[in-house]
Structure 1
Amino acid sequence: MRTLCIELEPRTLLGHSLLFFVRFNNYTSNLAGGWAPEMEPLLSAIVGDLVTRALSMMVKRYVQYKGAEEKLEKLQRLKGLLLRIDAAIEEAEGRHITNQAMLQQLQMLRQGMYRGYYMLDTFRYRAQRAGGELSLSSTGRSLALSRFSPSSSRCSLFSVCDATSMESLLDAGSSDNLDKMLGSLERMMGGMREFFVTFLPSYPRISRQPYSAYLFLDQVMFGRQMEMETIINFLFRSQAESNGDLGVLPIIGAARVGKSTLVEHVCLDDRVRDHFSSIVFFTGDDLDGGILASMRGSGVVKQQSLAPTPGRGSLAVVELARDMEEETWRRLYTSAVNHMSPGSKILLTSRSEKTASFGTERALTLNFLPQEAYWYFFKTIAFGSSNPAERPELAALGMDIAVYMNRSFMAANTVAGLLRANLDARFWLKVLRCLRDFASRHLSLFGEHPTDLLRKDQPVYIWTMAKRKNVVVMRDIYQHRSPQSSEVPRITAQDVLSGSVTSLGRFQAVAWRSRIPPCFTYLVSFVVSPTDKHAVIGKKRPRSRRDRI
């Protein structure tokens, strides 16, 4: 028995169904006339029940379609609103804004944009999954991907036009969240109309070269605009406003969260360079004696005026790789007060929360990006010049891949480079499965995500796409400031992950070359062994032989 399925708009289908059931009822009534009289009530009851159920199903489907249609219109509104917000933020980021209240408003708008795009992409790519899951064939050599043919411009946003599946995606909770998101962003944009129309044009433009989106993100610091302006505001504060004390601002955050990058960008800002006569960087080893008697000596001089200028102090940046004793800090601070000119400031970066007590200002804590902002960043650099909307199957996989990287900047740049070089769904699916196994293995063995272990300088089992049974362990991560080409290994972390490295033993590889100041080259130490036993035995490199991160 064959069934003919005709896709019609629900209201048209409902009308045709009513006409069909009326004619079918008349036909069965005429047919029943030739049957025995005692069979007529039974046949009429069966036909009546079938008609009632069919009409109930069609009415329910029509209501679902209307609800999904309204929600699709809301998502279209959200998409248009996000495009306007994106354009407004891009215009604001192209100007030198100094007002702190305006910067806070802009940061709120930026965070709202990231959340909005995350919600839009979630609906879009959840619909992609609902329409057809990615699945490998039994041979493992081919990938079955659903093909969708949108029948209307409204459906083209999601490439799925099935009202029932869309209704299941846009459930009551999601619909409420969508309404809240729309209302929040619309109020935010409405409240900032004066900001963009009246105040923004009064600030000077920042000259910069045009880049495509992913190249531009590769050239600028992402997601730290508010923190940067907070530090600059502290540096410009007069000594009288700080109760006459030498100002110290602790900047605290986990390993590789971006402390050094943030401070380097602050020190390269023209406003900061014009404000201080000298800028010097120190490490904890430079200051073990607790003496800062001179702005020269062991520190790295970033800027030095030829002739001292009255009223211009000095800026000292102290990078602590480990805890400093409170007594040592007291001696250091006393030495700095006695030898640094009025108007000088100290920026103190550290991983330890104890450092917060060393500051004259409330410590600035750097956290990893929210998942919404991280996905915005990762999506841009993973797709490069390609449009994610044109590759929804890849974008659906990319959202899952981004979750398993635990908001790590290094992981984003390393894995995104691997994905951008091969925009194939089979390859991305394999990467996703490797990352999922990578995370679940460490959670079951150590109770922690592997990126959390790496931030604690602990070795981890690294994932690889090779079919060989070798065990690969990442034992160390360290960095070089602008290393010579002879010092940089030719092997990259992408080579190890893709399985193209076949050698055993210990070797170094380049994980990532940052293109933004301080332009670190991040190196990793791998140990490849045919057995688990040999992979985990061995000492890490002494900290004295590594640059601090």
Structure 2
Amino acid sequence: MAGLVGALLSGFVDALFERLASEVVNSLFQGKTGIPELLNRLEIQLRSANKLLNHADEKQLTDEDVRKWLDDVREVHYEADHVIDKINYEALRRNAEEGEQSGSKKRKFINFMPKFYSAFDNTIKSEIKEILAKLDPLLKRKDELGLTEGVHQNRPQRLLAPLVDACDIYGRDADKKAIVELLLSDHNGGRKLSVIPIVGMGGIGKTTLAQLVYNDSKVQDHFALKVWVTVSEEFDVLNLTRQIIEAITSEKCDIQEQYRLQDELKKKVMRKRFLFVLDDVWNENYVLWNALRSPFDLGADGSKILVTTRNETVALKMGTVQAHTLQMIPDDDCWKLFARHAFDNRGSGFRGVERDLAE
């Protein structure tokens, strides 16, 4: 499963072009050239972009250029949706109007409409060409951004939390402050490496909190190496080690043997203070965790691993400090969050609700 953007868009193209499959819509451009060919090209290009979403979702957490690329792809999808809405509406409108005409009135109606129809066709052609003009360069950037198709398709994944801005988060200031203090602390209880678990039920905001902390300017400046890995259900030591190496080097790692992989990771972290985020961990097998963490001991004092999990047993086995248990946010903050999304950050509606909650 792709990340959040991928999940939202992966089924988008199928749904989008299913709306063009009706007999009414097909009759709209019957016998014409130009628009059907443009729509076919648009579908092919959108499907090509969707094949890159899995990899882009993984890279966006640590690569600002990929994050911007995903935003641009999402905007293109929305523009395509708008154009196809217009096509559907026009097809239904014409079908209804022509159905109401009869006899000589129908002939007069048909004779009157070609100019109008031609104007609509030209507008749609222009809008599709504009979308393709935006989409084509995005697809050409895949090599520059290091994006490949179908990355990690066989590895179970979950929906990622959306990338967050601190001003859009409610009720987590105290949680963020507590985690940041732990990360910046040089006291690791006599250990070089400290593992900090964030525990809470699904959907409560563990990943969102981890993102807030990971992107905090003080945290960014404090660590020489920073890596984010989404683990999910399959705790594959080789694959996770390889992902960490690739994140550090920004290069593909083809090493297959465990000893060589771990030796390579030891070299990358040696005497460097690092922060690794292991997001959505389910594994309770301490042997696997111990195998993954063994190269980390060569890092500099003050290195940290931040783990998010729903499972208290996982937190107990992995953590070197008491787990930070995430609670529901207060009711007032729930309402503020609801109001922001309900009103889509627009107009006086959201401001009015936020003002009322503050009073």
Q: TM-score range by the shorter chain?
A: 0.3 to 0.5
Whose Rg is larger?
A: 1
Higher relative contact order (CA 8 A, sep 6+): 2
Which of the two has greater helix per residue? Answer: 2
